Copies of this chain bind each other. A is one copy, B any other.
């Protein structure tokens, strides 16, 4: 069976799999490596996200403060992915000795942490002889984590917000243009959907899901693989949630930090108005879950579904010049 997620030897995912493989079963761990975060038996949720200047962001495009916000948001989004409430975060920074980039990045991290009510629990600060490096560890708590493995045939797939804005900003910068302000904001100040995720679980019964970091196609594949199901994405529906109608950017852009959830049939339609009023954000259907495997796109006009390939970004592949942040 072809695994559309498989990258070549030396690819980042293979290396992560390699170092996470062969772990002894850990007592006290309910959900181990492989989902968006680890969950301990007492409901503690833990995740770590590292961001490196020149790899995850280009300092010519993004301020250190924005880079800090993004790094913090990416980490906090892992709590949203599990429908966990934040307990707090720990931040490690390796910063150049001069220029204040480290302090600015820290300010950005604190800003997004404050926005979701996550206190700073600790940190480490050291000198970097090279790029600014930020590692954000988030700690949360949940009685009933939202897992990638929870989608069931018959479920409807819904997403929050608009997809592909961050990708549109990157594309503009790479073309030497100024991004649309909304695209720039999507890239520089994404909002972790923490309260939204908890509401989707508690009120609409979301039973499988994750945050959208790899693009809808890639993250739908994570859901399909972990749940042992097939995912059918509807091109017309995806176009409606895509930034400026760009289906490719929504499917393969990534870094949206919105949510993809599997809802029991009919629940999404019933909750869409309350969701918008409560969070000032849209939620929209994008497809459905069926028996089978893989991710398939149902094309506009109603042709046969086509298997979707993942177009994600691998930090270990050679970087274009200038480096493409992701």
| CA A102 to CA B42, docked complex, whole Å | 32
Q: In the complex, what distance in Å separates the CA atom of A12 from the CA atom of B90?
A: 17
A55 at the interface (CB under 8 A from B): yes
Please provide the chain A residues from 40 to 93 with a CB less than 8 Å away from any CB of chain B in the complex.
40, 42, 44, 46-52, 54-56, 87-88, 90-93
Q: Are A23 and B119 in contact (CB under 8 A)?
A: yes
Residues of chain B lying within 8 A (CB to CB) of residue A87: 28, 40
Residues of B within 8 A of A120 (CB): 19-20, 23, 26, 33
Q: Are B127 and A52 in contact (CB under 8 A)?
A: yes
Q: Write the A234-251 contact mask toward B (1 if CB under 8 angstroms, else 0).
A: 000000000000000000
Residues of B within 8 A of A279 (CB): none
A126 touches which of B52, B93, B119 (Cβ 8 Å): B52
Interface stretch among A132-140, A152-160, A188-196?
A132-140
Q: Which positions 111-134 of chain A face chain B at CB distance < 8 Å?
A: 119-131, 133
Q: Which of A280-326 contact B (CB under 8 A)?
A: 315-316, 318-319, 323
Q: How far is the CA of A126 from the CA of B133 in the complex (A)?
A: 11
* Residue A97 lies at the interface, judged by CB distance under 8 Å to chain B: yes
A127 touches B316 (CB 8 A): yes
Does A15 have its Cβ within 8 Å of any Cβ on chain B? Answer: yes
Q: Residue A24 at the B interface, CB < 8 A?
A: yes
CB pair B129 A37 closer than 8 Å: no
Say how many copies of this protein the assembly contains: 2
Interface residues on A, range: 35 or more
Distance A184 CA – B315 CA, assembled complex (angstroms):
35
Which residues on B sit within 8 Å (CB–CB) of A126? 12, 50-52, 55-56, 315
Assembly CA distance A52 to B125 (angstroms): 11
User: Is A38's beta carbon under 8 Å from chain B?
Assistant: yes
Q: Across the interface, do A46 and B124 meet the contact criterion of CB distance under 8 Å?
A: no
Question: Is B90's CB under 8 angstroms from A125's CB?
Answer: no
Residues of chain B within 8 A (CB-CB) of A90 are 38, 46-48, 137
Which residues of the other chain, B, contact A135 by a CB distance below 8 angstroms?
48, 50, 92, 124, 135
B139 touches A55 (CB 8 A): no
Q: Least Cβ distance of A35 to chain B in Å? A: 9
Q: Which residues of B contact A110 (CB under 8 A)?
A: 19
Q: A4: CB under 8 A from chain B?
A: no
Q: Are A125 and B26 in contact (CB under 8 A)?
A: no
Q: What 9 pairs across the A-B complex have the smallest Cβ distances? A: A130-B130, A26-B119, A50-B92, A135-B135, A127-B315, A38-B121, A48-B90, A38-B122, A19-B106
Please name 16 further chain A to chain B contacts, defined as beta carbons within 8 Å, in addition to the given A55-B127, A55-B128, sorted by A numbering.
A16-B123, A18-B103, A23-B119, A24-B119, A40-B139, A46-B90, A48-B90, A48-B92, A50-B124, A54-B129, A56-B126, A92-B135, A128-B133, A129-B130, A129-B323, A133-B133
